[in-house]
Structure 1
Amino acid sequence: MKKYAFAASAATIALAVSGQAFAQESDAFSTALADGAVTELAPVTVTTPLRRPTTVLQSTSTVTVITEDDIEKSAAPDLPSLLKRYPGVNITTNGGQGATSSIVLRGASASQTLVLIDGMRVASATSGTAYISNIPLSSIARVEIVEGAHSAEWGADAIGGVVNIITKDGSTCENGASVCTTVETGVTYPWGGYGTVSTRGVSNSGVNFNIGLSLLGTEGYDFTTADNSVHEDGRDGFLQGAFNFALSKDFLWGRLYTSGLYVRSNPHFDSAPYADWMTGETVYGANEADQTNAAFKVGAEVDHSDTWSSVFELYSAFDYQKNFRDGHPEADTHYDTNRYGLSASTTKEIQAGAALNTFTLGAEAYRETVDSSVEYTETARDVAAVYGQYGLELDALTFNAGLRYDYDEQFGDAVTYNVGLGYELVEGLTARASFSTGFNAPTFNDLYWAYDGSYVGNPDLEAETSKNWEVGLNWAPTDTAAIDLVYYENRIDDMIAYVSDPVTYIGTMENIDKAKVSGVRATYSQMLFDDRLGLDFGFEYRLPKDETDDVYIANQNRLKLTAEASYAATEKLNLNAGIEYVGSRWTNADNIEYTNYAQYQLGAYTLVNLSAIYAIDETANVKFAVENLFDEEYQTAYGYKAPGTTVTLAYRRTF
């Protein structure tokens, strides 16, 4: 760990490099390192908001960036625990490590939030959600979170926003060598441990590479509450192995690259046996799974000139889940998704006087296939799209616009667009506004589930659609402070909801609901004491309303407060502390107190997290971290206990 690892600039704070993520950043700030040197930081570049490299302010969107340094300093043992401490992000988990988790942005559902790995969509085509618990922190270089509808850039499922998880590449070695190997091992409570090894660098032939392996295991705890109908006594453990790689090489004409992530795990969960209501026989369901997730791509970037480049990519991603119970083969089920895709885009910059015009044209296509123990009337679908984006930079003005056409052989076509405007009112104070549309494709479960006696899919479903607008201000009053404030509204139409026939009680899905999610989100960051102390605060209040029935959307919190402090106590010791408060939320769509429900609301909770990193020398450190210091008892999903106190002690060394 470098001795200035916790000294951060206001720009870096604004992008969540030292704790609480900020939505925007100013053009550049200078930072005073612990040794007194001053380094000018260039604007941080992101690719997710407009599907091309821009600074955060140029994107005119609300953006959060989580860096590799953030991950290292965090007390979080897994990806869901890391993401949930950021404003605008809502995480629901059915237990601890390895449990099913979902991510929600701006009150949209998990299937309305697009999750990518290195720009590749990885969600299950049957459930419509990504298994984020199976993406190890050890493989992640950064996470870009973009809020609001972004279907004009990425297509289906980007109603609430996009989470792009970017894996590690062959970045510069910490010890200054051309090639280095980093080893980390740790123990955790509840009892478990992990080990990672990665080698990265640049070969003599100019190949930039990274290869990583990780293994994690924990005995876990009993995930479910006693009143949960699936409750079984006993701990729910988790075992995970992962491999990731990245290779690239620069040429005079451009760059060739490839990357991949493969993860396999064995999560345990509760599924209590029950008596069949007709026969009285005991029915056993699966209580553990083999979960496999992977994403691979190969690409080429061609530089036609200094102002014109094109990108071509092929990718494959899959989500395999096999559920089983030892000794009961009748409980076996599997849900496998395969996705194969290709994309091409070209970007041209044209300078016209003081105006910089950027044009992007692109096309992509992918095929989804499903193989399952459950019968589906259709098992494949093809999707194709073309899109265009335009950007203008003229003095204090930034303008973005985009248009996309998607064709899905299952539900037809969709046209989406985005418009964004930013203007620097005075030095350091920038106003922004944007409007965008989105859509969410129905899942295979929604569409094609064959009749099983109680439920049948509806092949006539249409896509859910949305309109999102936001206005915001970003202000850097000094070189060591930054403030961001945004108000947003997201309207969702034709929401897919479960309905049941009043006579036959046979259920299906229909487009019937409307929702409106509005909210205000604010963040503030400040560096003090010669940049030794960094403070970050976040606030979000939102109203997730089902307008069809004029009630709050179930399982959506309305208030979230966060605070982070990062302190360079000495040149070797760095301390971090964080507090997260989440308000209460309804567990039922009617927002009423059911007498037969043990809980009709999930209560508010407050979490305190701590971490300390001590640099033994320039190449080695030890880390002590505690998540949920005061062992707060809380739930993010009804009937499932969230993790209690989690302690990690780790050692890391780079050779």
Structure 2
Amino acid sequence: MTPPYRLLLLATAAFAAPALAQETPADVVVTAAGAPQSVNETGDAITVVTRDDLEARQTVSIADYLATTPGISVTRSGGPGTLTSLSIRGAEATQTLVLIDGVRVNDPSSPGGAFDFGSLLSGSVERVEVLRGANSVPWGSQAIGGVVNIVTERPPEAGVAARANAEYGAADSVVANGAVSGRSGALSGALTAGYLRSDGISAAADGTERDGYRQIGGSARLGIDVTDGIGVDLRGYYAHSKIDLDGFPPPAYVFADTPEYSTTQELYGYAGVHADFGSFRNRAAFTIADVNRDNYDPGVGAAALFIGRGRSERYEYQGDYRVLDQLRIVAGAEHEDSRFDDGTTTASTGTTSVYGELIVQPVRQLTVTGGVRNDDHDDFGSHTSIGANAALALATGTTLRASYAEGFKAPTLYQLHGAYGTPSLEPETAKSYDAGIEQALLDGRVRVGATYFHRDTHNQIDFDLGTFTYANIARARASGVEVGIALRPIDAFTVSANYTYTRARNRTPGANFGHDLARRPRETVNFSADYRFPFALSLGGTVSVVGDSYDDAGNVTRLDGYVLAGVRAELPVGERFALYGRIENLFDERYQTVFGYGTVGRAAYGGVRMRLD
């Protein structure tokens, strides 16, 4: 890391720890056990982001907020809407499981099965849970690096609520969102809609032509209480995006401006029933994820040059039985059918899974969770995963956490059956553990913590240049520490900061053994502060420091570290409205997260927000 960044890291490290401001004892999460559980009863490391957090930061892209949380690094191949990848604790982007309203949304038509965070906007989102570390017992395939669980707008406890915002800013950007939700008798529901348009920037760092982005989307939710403890849940999510692209035009065939563009349609649905019989809770559901991608080059013709059609259908049952106050059993069975079509190859596969977890509290302060899962895949056969974690919450405000978990990732349909596929591929596997401590002081106004983590990944699938096919040839190791602090000295003033050190290394025998994994900065620091004046004006700022990394496995092309700073303000106007504005990349930092791809410079935005509840 270059000396200026090192100095800033040292100056900021005094504020270090996981983002604990949202992780209060009242929080309930589902990413740890796959069922509701108090965050203080799990040994897993989890960050919770609420709607209030997103609005306080004036967040448009969920990835931008997550990039400032512990253990996460984000790369973006250009401006808004371009391919955006998220790595948790140095894992591959393809090894992060993403859910929206209980639906697994990783794209079956993607070569590696990664979810593109470039299209995930904040307008519909009420809550985000991020679990850091492997956790395949409740979640199955892809939960090697961690799990990102997105929850869209939910109805209030009673009555009607509504919110809306609209903003305008740099690159002729327009953002508009609206949401309405309510509950009356046996019915509850929520509906959101959003629109974004931006001229963007050139995806090619040396280009001059702006690559624009547009998205329309929304979410819907309906709940029907049939009788006491029994109900029906229906959820849906839709997004349609268009992004201009750059490519490799003749005769030079170097990355440059082109008229190419891509469209993506995402449709996710959930239909389920729940039935609670005293201490025995049951849930059964059918989910569907359908992603259509099309790439066009008007210079070649009107027809799509590439298509990607990915679809998964999932049937699942979960039982949650509290046998005693000190003993809880969570168990389930699932079956998923997935298929893809790239215009040349069509393939499908199925996976049947069963899992079980015991959650035990031998004493009130200690919670121990252990579980096992078996996945039977049509192509590679059976795989078993285990995991265990423990949390000790003391009356002194100290919480000790520890976890061990195994993760696995099934080979994708493209890796198995695509043009360069290998039908005999085995799943990627990982073993990870972490241990941490958190301390709450002054009635929770000060929260500090630290976590050490380690993960070994084997059988990782990579492209074999010797055979020009996919093969289980890669190994990786990642270890590091996440530390931080959250302060609220007075109700009007909040400060939080976190520092992450990640050493993600290639352990594959050969020329790149021991090298840093590509695009994994070793050090990141994030600092944020907000203050509300007595006359209601709010001012805030965020600083992110990202260390050096490499763009390639050979560690030849260096990506220099960078510092991003932003400021924001919001002023209420009456009881229902507020004016807000922000400046991103305040010092107009020039940097790259992917070599050769541009990034947004200094940019200002302003808008108005309305809320009714």
- Report the alpha carbon displacement of residue 209 of structure 1 after superposing the two structures with TM: 1.1
d(CA) in 2 for partners of 1:129, 1:286: 26
Of 536-545 and 118-127, the range deviating more from structure 2: 118-127
In structure 2, the residue matched to 1:83 is 66
Out of 183, 188, 199, the residue aligned to residue 219 of structure 1 is 199
In structure 1, the residue matched to 2:396 is 427
Q: Deviations over 1:75-126 (max 9, x none)?
A: 4331221211111111111011110111110111011111111121111113
Out of 107, 113, 122, the residue aligned to residue 137 of structure 1 is 122
In structure 1, the residue matched to 2:19 is 21
Q: Which runs of 5 or more residues in structure 2 are unaligned?
A: 1-16
In structure 2, the residue matched to 1:499 is 464
In structure 2, the residue matched to 1:186 is 167
- Report the alpha carbon displacement of residue 331 of structure 1 after superposing the two structures with TM: 5.7
- Report the alpha carbon displacement of residue 25 of structure 1 after superposing the two structures with TM: 4.3
In structure 2, the residue matched to 1:551 is 515
In structure 2, the residue matched to 1:362 is 332
Alpha-carbon contact 1:24-1:57 (below 8 Å) kept: no
d(CA) in 2 for partners of 1:55, 1:298: 26
d(CA) in 1 for partners of 2:188, 2:601: 41
- Report the alpha carbon displacement of residue 286 of structure 1 after superposing the two structures with TM: 7.3
Alpha-carbon contact 1:319-1:337 (below 8 Å) kept: yes
Alpha-carbon contact 2:23-2:47 (below 8 Å) kept: no
- Report the alpha carbon displacement of residue 165 of structure 1 after superposing the two structures with TM: 0.9
- Report the alpha carbon displacement of residue 207 of structure 1 after superposing the two structures with TM: 1.4
Out of 474, 484, 495, the residue aligned to residue 535 of structure 1 is 495
Q: Deviations over 1:163-217 (max 9, x none)?
A: 01111121258xxxx22433321102121202222221123x4311111111110
d(CA) in 1 for partners of 2:258, 2:23: 50
Number of matched pairs: 584
TM-score, normalised to structure 1, is: 0.86
Alignment CA distance shift 1:172-1:308 (3 Å): closer
Alignment CA distance shift 1:570-1:24 (3 Å): closer
Q: Secondary structure at the match of 2:94?
A: helix
Q: Secondary structure at the match of 1:336?
A: strand
In structure 2, the residue matched to 1:296 is 269
In structure 1, the residue matched to 2:190 is 210
Matches within 5 A, 1:588-627: 588-592=552-556, 600-627=557-584
Q: What code does the residue aligned with 2:200 have?
A: G
d(CA) in 1 for partners of 2:517, 2:75: 14
- Report the alpha carbon displacement of residue 571 of structure 1 after superposing the two structures with TM: 4.4
Alignment CA distance shift 1:264-1:585 (3 Å): same
Q: Deviations over 1:433-461 (max 9, x none)?
A: 110000011122222122xxxxx211111
Out of 138, 142, 162, the residue aligned to residue 157 of structure 1 is 142
Q: What code does the residue aligned with 1:187 have?
A: Y
Alignment CA distance shift 1:185-1:550 (3 Å): same
Of 611-620 and 420-429, the range deviating more from structure 2: 420-429
Alpha-carbon contact 1:76-1:627 (below 8 Å) kept: no
Out of 201, 204, 218, the residue aligned to residue 243 of structure 1 is 218
Out of 303, 313, 319, the residue aligned to residue 346 of structure 1 is 319
The alignment status of 1:372 with 2:329, answered yes or no, reads: no
d(CA) in 1 for partners of 2:109, 2:287: 20
Q: Deviations over 1:29-65 (max 9, x none)?
A: xxxxxxxxxxxxxx11111111111111212100000
- Report the alpha carbon displacement of residue 419 of structure 1 after superposing the two structures with TM: 0.7
Alignment CA distance shift 1:20-1:147 (3 Å): closer
In structure 1, the residue matched to 2:96 is 113
d(CA) in 2 for partners of 1:95, 1:80: 14
Q: Percent identity?
A: 27
Q: What code does the residue aligned with 2:478 have?
A: V
- Report the alpha carbon displacement of residue 425 of structure 1 after superposing the two structures with TM: 5.0
- Report the alpha carbon displacement of residue 21 of structure 1 after superposing the two structures with TM: 2.4
Matches within 5 A, 1:218-617: 218-226=198-206, 233-250=208-225, 251-275=227-251, 287-305=260-278, 307-329=279-301, 332-351=305-324, 356-373=326-343, 375-376=344-345, 379-393=347-361, 394-425=363-394, 427-450=396-419, 456-479=420-443, 480-501=445-466, 507-528=468-489, 530-548=490-508, 549-592=513-556, 600-617=557-574
Q: Which runs of 5 or more residues in structure 1 are unaligned?
A: 1-18, 28-42, 227-231, 278-282, 451-455, 593-599
TM-score, normalised to structure 2, is: 0.92
In structure 1, the residue matched to 2:52 is 69
Q: What code does the residue aligned with 1:340 have?
A: E
d(CA) in 2 for partners of 1:583, 1:76: 23
- Report the alpha carbon displacement of residue 590 of structure 1 after superposing the two structures with TM: 1.8
